[in-house]
Structure 1
């Protein structure tokens, strides 16, 4: 039995997407993105009161990158991880965890656009964080532009959990910086978001979401 503790439009979406790609049976426990995550009951599962948390085989695991690694190693026959000894293992680890770099800047922009009020919101900081996202996009663009066979994905050997991690981070980042200036990244993102596993991980239309608009421009 697998249970994923999940909030829509958060990093836990990458775990949900991976579960779909692995074709695993799971139960989804959905929380509002509020103080519910800091309830005593939830803190017994995740001591920092965040998502994702996953319960599997009697274990409770939190931190999205750790969960992705664990699941790929627990189900190696699905081929979404790159195990020790695989030639793509170093690049796999780099890009799997690069998602957290992207998400760090997204988190700062969520705070600025949606959490803070006008009296403390900083357009300067918003511009800085958007510029940092552009550098992240640039790193992905350079990787995908490398003239190697089968570079439709981040790894030469094809689709992996690294694409899931980074793709979900870009899903969030696009609310603050479009992909217009990064054509290879945009094409890669389109390939990812056509996958049934991604589509099944999207929030239903009738639920409360973090992102209530497609794009959040920097205020004048």
Structure 2
């Protein structure tokens, strides 16, 4: 179909964030499951995303990669879902700010620290995020005592931040601060999030089942 939504993912990837977003949007979509090192690097998929990584989204003839970009695209493509402040609304500012803060400083600081790439104090100014503690302090200040990042309703920015904080805390790469736990717990209860988790967890379990005897 001309406007078909096709979601390229692996259930053990950041594609879980996009799955949640798709469930929030509520439009029909088709899932293409890819495996690391094989189908993710095959010519057919490299034509979709030359980086050979997931997630990716194809909407008709439009291809979008990168989690923040996919979330922003879906929010704008399907405004009836109410996942972004409307154009011209001043809350569009904080919405963009936090969506890209997660994609930039949080992702970089978290990933680098996790693999031991910590800049020396005298070089922190050369790194866009400075250090992980500063990034987490900034986020804590943004969510402490608040449910939403942009105005008084849930948006794609909340989805992305809650997903990444939850993932980081689950695996111990982001410290469990009370403000983070409250914020994540509130959004994890959303029906779309529960559906997304069930879908991806079922896919993982299915893939771990032993095959038939040879």
TM-score (norm 2): 0.77
Q: 2:41·2:52 contact (CA, 8 Å) conserved in 1? A: yes
RMSD: 2.6
Is there any run of 5+ residues in structure 1 with no aligned partner, and where?
Answer: 113-121, 210-220
Q: 1:9·1:172 contact (CA, 8 Å) conserved in 2? A: no
**Change over 3 Å in CA distance of 1:193–1:5 after alignment to 2:** same
- Distance in 2 between residues matched to 1:207 and 1:139, nearest whole Å: 39
Query: Could you say which residue in structure 2 is the equivalent of 1:136?
Result: 135
Q: Deviations over 1:74-128 (max 9, x none)?
A: 1112110123311101100011112213222343466x3xxxxxxxxx5x85xx9
Query: Could you say which residue in structure 1 is the equivalent of 2:92?
Result: 89
Q: Give the 5 Å matches for 1:95-106.
A: 95-100=98-103, 101-106=105-110
Structure 1 counterpart SS, 2:159 = helix
Runs (4 or more) in structure 1 with deviation over 4 Å come to none
**Change over 3 Å in CA distance of 1:76–1:207 after alignment to 2:** same
Is there any run of 5+ residues in structure 2 with no aligned partner, and where?
Answer: 122-129, 209-214
Q: 1:11·1:168 contact (CA, 8 Å) conserved in 2? A: no
TM-score (norm 1): 0.75
Which of 55, 58, 62 is the matching residue for 1:59?
Answer: 62
- Distance in 2 between residues matched to 1:184 and 1:64, nearest whole Å: 24
**Change over 3 Å in CA distance of 1:63–1:98 after alignment to 2:** same
Cα distance, 1:178 vs structure 2: 5.1
